[in-house]
Amino acid sequence: MARYTTSDLSRRSGDIIAEALRKPVTITQRNKPRLVLLSIEDYRRLMSRSDARKAETLADMSDEDFSDFRHAVEAYAEGDER
């Protein structure tokens, strides 16, 4: 990933934005990564994959996920009885 300083961003914003439209760019401040500049398409793709808070019901689970869930619950119950 390309890296630029906040000073670079002030001086070369057009070039850096053009690069960020192709691939994410890291912006550093005092030699530490502070920001990532990326296209809206990349942002939306990341957000759609990372929403771990999405609620589903058991009826929405795939058969494989439901089977894994059932086995985990059974293993937990067996552990409680011991």
Question: Apex CA 49: angle with CA 56 and CA 3, to 5°?
Answer: 155
pLDDT at position 68: 86
The per-residue pLDDT string of the chain (82 residues; one tens digit each, 9 = 90 and over) reads 899 999 999 999 999 999 999 999 999 999 999 999 999 999 988 887 776 666 778 888 788 888 888 888 888 787 754 4
The CA distances from residue 64 to 2, 49, 56, in Å, are 40, 20, 15
Q: Supply the pTM of this predicted model.
A: 0.59
Domains of the chain plus CATH, in order, are 2-81 (3.40.1620.10)
Cα 22 from chain centroid (whole Å): 18
